[in-house]
Amino acid sequence: MSLQIRPSTFADSPALAELLRAAQARRAASAPELKRLVGQLREHPVRPHFHELLAEDRGRLVGHLMVYQNVGRFHPGHYDVEIAVHPDAQGRGLGRRLAQEAQAHLSALNPEKLLSGTYEHHERGLAFLAQQGFTERFRYFDNVLDLRTWEAERWPVPALGGGLRLLTLADLIAGQGEEAAWRAFHAAFAEARQDAPSEEPPAPTLYEVFRQRAQAPGYSPQSVFLAVTGGGEVVAVTELKTDPQDAALMHIGLTGTRRAWRRRGLALALKLAGMHWAQASGARHIKTGNATSNAAILAINGRLGFRPERVRVEFARTL
């Protein structure tokens, strides 16, 4: 192997996306999405650390290393480490070489904790993380619903009750205006997200960053469903986004309810509204990610017809 390790550039995004898909290191990797994610890290108000290297073998991209601070769970002493090796280059020590590069870079940062992850079926990746001193801390399911066989008539969207209206974000924008609608949406999203199960406590959802999701590939105000009071307060949310690689696949993001409005079936009603909309729009599948510890939502998704596809295993190493 004639190896060259160098910093990445935006021009590498198409080849890097291909590598990540081959290595199954990241879901739905695409060049535009990678550019957007890196741009968000570099421009985020908390100024997270970001370091990225690529490994080439005779001009072909075969390895990737990223050391960064996750803005969704930001902590000044915590760093995420992602290493991906193309299947054709695995078993030749490249993963260990990239891990050494990561260790050399981190030595100047004095980290308190490192976080990483891989998929349950990726035995080589699991063994590698164990060898590097990481221990398992958390698991997520990729749950998938086949809309081609989903019997929508069995699952009508229930009335919200309590004077609430079921609106899309597009409806709310039409009624309140762009800025007011996004502010109301953000307030509900930020509160609901604080209670979502995760390995690390979520960081506050900054409005200026939240607002940027409107530019994300596949994101549309027509596929964001909200429960709204007569006074215009958003009390529950669910988001759907079209997959950048597959127009027939949709992803469900956060589904949640503000604390004072829970246990009224609002999250289920919104999720059903989104599922009906996705099926009517011609989507064939819906994916959502759930923590394996979230028994309540897993039970609901199981009744709705979602089936586990693969499990993401999160690891941590305390220094």
Domain residues for the domain of 233 are 143-309
**155 plus 255 within the same structural domain:** yes
Residues of the chain predicted below pLDDT 50: none
Both structure tokens of 154: 């069995």
Print burial letters for 14-53: b (CB count within 10 Å at least 16), e (below 16): ebbbebbbbbbbbbbbbbebbebebebbeebeeebeebbb
Q: Does pTM surpass 0.85?
A: yes
Last residue of a domain, one of 133, 161, 190: 133
Give dist(CA 55, CA 267) in Å, integer.
44
Both structure tokens of 241: 């986004």
Both structure tokens of 150: 């989903």
pLDDT tens digit sequence for 273-284:
999 999 999 999
User: Which of 189, 204, 211, 216 lies closest to 73 in space, CA to CA?
Assistant: 204
Enumerate the H helices of 147-252 as residue ranges.
169-176, 178-193, 207-210
**64 plus 108 within the same structural domain:** yes
Identify the CATH number of the domain in which residue 218 sits: 3.40.630.30
Both structure tokens of 146: 């086949």
> What pLDDT is recorded for position 34?
84
Last residue of a domain, one of 108, 133, 158: 133
> What pLDDT is recorded for position 182?
98
pLDDT tens digit sequence for 79-106:
999 999 999 999 899 999 999 999 999 9
Tally of domains within the chain: 2
